[in-house]
A and B are shown apart, each in its own frame.
Chain A
């Protein structure tokens, strides 16, 4: 069966995500971000690890976050001791998590395989810190109490990317209180899909 056709808003949102993935981020270059995505995807799909130019600790982080993201303080601390600081870790997490969203979406509509990763673009990481971020209930700094929606808030560009993709695939934060809104599915059907997905991931979100 052919893949299900995507409305423009989905196509535009996925193109924006691919543009971001290919471009320099806050702590990693475009080439490194695409390499992180390749490592995460291969691990998630049970494929051999690709040959990439990344520190071993980043490969370790990407593989774990793609396959078994239930991490603890000891593990995150071990990454830091090996040179992967909290903000750089947050960017790895963002890249891997958003790729998992795109790949699952594509699998669901029946593309038959993941989309080829984008070609990296030149550029240097901005290294911009978020002064307001601090440890507040999570293992990495966040702006406010740590929870999924602000999980990447220690890296402003990653936070913005998360909210953009979340708005495309689910709903914008401003729409959350409108329980009557129908977008292909009604809200109860939508939340049922969300709940089942979380259950299968052993995540009680």
Chain B
């Protein structure tokens, strides 16, 4: 979905920036958005305070509020998916290299059925 939406909007994007905290996402406000995500998910108040100023400059108040809302939504959706025991979708193997993550995790087969 991320790649499709970036292409639809003619944005350049480096998907590795999803997993690599140093990589530039190339999206407008991408680095600043990533800093807020990290602060909120990890519940780091100091990091949140450091993140919010640059984020407001990059995307404005409405954009910053929207970012917080989307983080909240995916905190919920992630928990729901895990809480009903549904693992990664099978297409993960194809997109993992673009995201810069190792898949499947070493020593495991996430699609193995018992």
Contact = CB atoms under 8 A, between A and B. Distances in A.
24 contacts: A1-B53, A69-B79, A96-B83, A97-B80, A100-B72, A101-B72, A105-B69, A107-B40, A108-B36, A108-B40, A137-B86, A138-B84, A147-B86, A169-B70, A183-B62, A184-B66, A188-B5, A188-B6, A189-B67, A192-B18, A192-B25, A193-B37, A195-B2, A197-B74
A187 B65 contact: no
Contact of B80 (A102, A162, A183, A192): A162
Interface of A: 1, 4-7, 10, 45, 65-66, 69-73, 76, 90, 93-94, 96-98, 100-105, 107-110, 112, 137-140, 142, 146-148, 151-152, 162, 165-166, 168-170, 179-180, 183-201, 203-205
Contact of B84 (A93, A188, A190): A93
Given A147-B81, A205-B78, A4 B86 contact: no
**Chain B binding surface, main DSSP class:** helix
Place the interface of chain B in its size category. 35 or more
Given A170-B70, A179-B5, A189-B30, A73 B19 contact: no
B68 A109 contact: yes
Most chain A CB within 10 A, of B4, B11, B42, B84, is at B84
Contacts of B53: 1
